[in-house]
Chain A
Amino acid sequence: SQTIHQWPATLVQPVGSPLSLECTVEGTSNPNLYWYRQAAGRGLQLLFYSVGIGQISSEVPQNLSASRPQDRQFILSSKKLLLSDSGFYLCAWSVPGANTEAFFGQGTRLTVV
């Protein structure tokens, strides 16, 4: 069966520090991968999605970047965090080539102080 792992679960980082959140999927090949940010009362905002290694699409301009160095690995990064980057970040995957549902990780609560 397929599983998705996202870590860390919580993170407190000072302003100006770098960020690296990692997400890996097991049990499937060439998944579509997504990074979302969930803000209270604001729903889920799609940040990045990827349909293959090295292929990243960005949905909103921001202080963050994403990379897919391996087929089932998706990384969310920042060189210098801002206070406004605080939030709940979710990684998800879906079956490639079809508009099927997304399967979500447990999420990372990021607090920038």
Chain B
Amino acid sequence: AQSVSQHNHHVILSEAASLELGCNYSYGGTVNLFWYVQYPGQHLQLLLKYFSGDPLVKGIKGFEAEFIKSKFSFNLRKPSVQWSDTAEYFCAVYTNAGKSTFGDGTTLTVKP
């Protein structure tokens, strides 16, 4: 069975600090990978996605993620966080139509 592990449950950073959120998955076949974000009081929305091609993908608001197949990882990064990045972040894996697995989420708090 597929699974997704997000290593950090709660991350606290100061503005302008760099961010890296870890995501590892377990599945032996082809996967599509996603990062979703949920800002306070808002619904889940897509941050970025990887299907194939360049393993470094760029998303909205300056976020990027790198797919490392050998490590089964899809870590999310941002060089300089802002207070408005405070949110909960979810990594997700899709292996075939309709089958998805989400990580437990990482709460990011950015101090102004």
Q: Is B34 an interface residue (CB 8 A)?
A: yes
Q: Complex: how many Å from CA A92 to CA B44?
A: 10
Q: Is B96 an interface residue (CB 8 A)?
A: yes
Q: Complex: how many Å from CA A96 to CA B97?
A: 8
In the complex, the answer to whether A101 meets B90 with C-beta atoms within 8 Å is no
Classify chain A: how many residues form its interface, as a range: 20 to 34
Q: Is A43 an interface residue (CB 8 A)?
A: yes
Q: Which of A31-68 contact B (CB under 8 A)?
A: 32, 34, 36, 41-46, 49-51, 57
Interface of B is mostly: strand
Q: Complex: how many Å from CA A44 to CA B90?
A: 8
Closest chain B CB from A53 CB (angstroms): 14
Q: Which residues from chain A contact B44 at a C-beta distance below 8 Å?
A: 44, 90, 92, 104
In the complex, the answer to whether A99 meets B97 with C-beta atoms within 8 Å is yes
Classify chain B: how many residues form its interface, as a range: 20 to 34
In the complex, the answer to whether A101 meets B104 with C-beta atoms within 8 Å is no
In the complex, the answer to whether B105 meets A49 with C-beta atoms within 8 Å is no
Given contact pairs A104-B45, A105-B43, A43 touches B102 in the complex (Cβ within 8 A): yes
Closest chain B CB from A55 CB (angstroms): 9
Given contact pairs A44-B90, A106-B43, A51 touches B98 in the complex (Cβ within 8 A): yes
The winner among A41, A42, A101 for most chain B CB atoms within 10 A is A101
Closest B residue to A48 by beta carbon equals B98
In the complex, the answer to whether A42 meets B49 with C-beta atoms within 8 Å is no
A72-113 vs B, CB cutoff 8 Å, 1 = contact: the mask equals 000000000000000000101000111111111111000000
A-B contact pairs, 15 of them (CB 8 A): A32-B97, A36-B102, A41-B9, A41-B104, A41-B105, A42-B104, A42-B105, A43-B6, A43-B103, A43-B104, A44-B44, A49-B99, A50-B98, A99-B95, A107-B43
A-B contacts besides A32-B98, A97-B97, 10 pairs, CB < 8 Å: A34-B100, A36-B102, A43-B4, A43-B104, A44-B90, A44-B105, A46-B100, A99-B51, A99-B95, A104-B44
Which residues of A come within 8 Å of B, CB atoms?
32, 34, 36, 41-46, 49-51, 57, 90, 92, 96-107
